[in-house]
Structure 1
Amino acid sequence: MSGLGDLVARLLGRSRAPVVVEDPPPTAEQIADAVRDVEARIEGRVPAAVTARVHRITGTVEDMVPRLDRFGVGDRQAYTVVATATSYLPEAVEGYLRLPRDFADRRVVSRGKTSLMLLCDQLDLLAVTLEKISDAVYRADAQALVAHGQFLADTFGQSSLDHPGPGAP
């Protein structure tokens, strides 16, 4: 009967089980701040190839942040955008920045690649993934516009500008 006792205790607010409080999801401003922080961290510290890739990613994230509310709760694509900004991108860049430049840029560490090459590969993967998500969102917006145009055409028929005025032949 302890299961029933635990249930009653929880219902009455006297739960013996620890309450787990999850952090709220990051706000749009926190997401934008996260990518701006990465840009600031790399300033003057990484090769141009890394800077260009980071800017490509951060630009896509900043474009997507205002559109995140279009995704449903728990949406995988929204999660990917947020995780890229707050975790994947910062962690990849930080791992590279912790290494001495000469080692990171010249020493082969895995499968014939340097840490710099590995970072570029990771950044390219993030960029392509975000661009696919962005493209899907924009296509959905474009399809909504097409559907709305079709609705208007079906509802109102031809434009009143196409019809001759009263008394016209």
Structure 2
Amino acid sequence: MGIGSWFGFGSRPERAPEIASAASRVPTSQDLLDAIDRVEQQAREGKAPGMVQSRLGRVARIVRETVPRLETLGHGSPQAYNVMATATDYLPDAIGGYLRLPRQWADSRPVDRGKTSLMILIDQLDLLGATMDKVFDAVCRADAEALVVHGRFLQEKFGAASGGGDLRIGTTPLPPLPPSDPDAPTPLTPPTGRQG
């Protein structure tokens, strides 16, 4: 036993593998949706005011719409991180912090630059809502850009599609289809050569 172990440094015991892996595990889509459900339930059970619940509902709706599209952004993107952090950290901390305060005090006592805790929470929820709107817009734009790129690929590969395409192969027109009714007149075929 060295002096370092007396002060908590030096050779430290390894963390248990299950604790280390749980701490470093990236939340799944279902984890994010479950976190949103929990914070909405917490707000309902804590009888948060309607203005809080409506703003929370807006943020939760946008997160729910964004989560299935997160693969578009990639796991390392700042937008994907913002969605994850909003669901698992920012919303629960904001709602939990407000609900821990006595309601009358939180709604009437100024605590920061003349704002009550309720006003501060509403500002936070509005900011999160605007941020999630931007993230959802970025996700949708990425999907739309992928569609545009795919359309350009098809355009280069197969030609113009805006005029309905060209069904002729080469320069010889296709022969007319035989009539389905034997007594029907045969359609005229366009002339193939020049007349003098």
TM over 0.5: yes
TM-score category of the 2 structures, normalised to the smaller one: 0.7 to 0.9
For the residue of structure 1 that corresponds to 2:111, the secondary structure is strand
User: 153, 157, 160: which one pairs with 2:159?
Assistant: 157
Matched, 1:123 2:125: yes
Contact map agreement 2:73 2:139 (CA 8 A) in 1: no
1:162 offset after TM fit, Å? Answer: 3.4
Q: What's the RMSD between the two structures over aligned residues?
A: 2.1
Map 1:34-73 → 2, pairs under 5 A? 34-43=35-44, 45-73=47-75
Choose 1 or 2 for highest CA Rg: 2
The code of the aligned residue for 1:162 comes to: G
Counterparts in 2 of 1:18 and 1:152: CA distance versus 1, 3 Å: farther
Contact map agreement 2:36 2:60 (CA 8 A) in 1: yes
Percent identical: 48
Counterparts of 1:154 and 1:163, CA distance in 2: 15
For the residue of structure 2 that corresponds to 1:43, the secondary structure is helix
**Deviation sequence 1:50-92 (CA, Å, 0-9, x none):** 0111011111111111122233343222111111100110000
Counterparts of 2:91 and 2:26, CA distance in 1: 17
For the residue of structure 2 that corresponds to 1:99, the secondary structure is coil
1:19 offset after TM fit, Å? Answer: 4.2
**Deviation sequence 1:107-160 (CA, Å, 0-9, x none):** 111101011000000111111111111111111111111111111111101349
Per the alignment, residue 3 of structure 2 pairs with none
Contact map agreement 2:72 2:143 (CA 8 A) in 1: no
- Structure 1: segments with no counterpart, 5+ residues: 1-15
**Deviation sequence 1:24-60 (CA, Å, 0-9, x none):** 1111111101100111111161111101110111111
Aligned residues between the structures = 154
Superposition TM-score, scaled by structure 1 size? 0.82
For the residue of structure 1 that corresponds to 2:40, the secondary structure is helix
Counterparts of 2:85 and 2:146, CA distance in 1: 27
Counterparts of 1:164 and 1:97, CA distance in 2: 68
For the residue of structure 1 that corresponds to 2:101, the secondary structure is coil
Matched, 1:138 2:140: yes
Per the alignment, residue 26 of structure 1 pairs with 27
**Higher helix proportion (structure 1 or 2):** 1
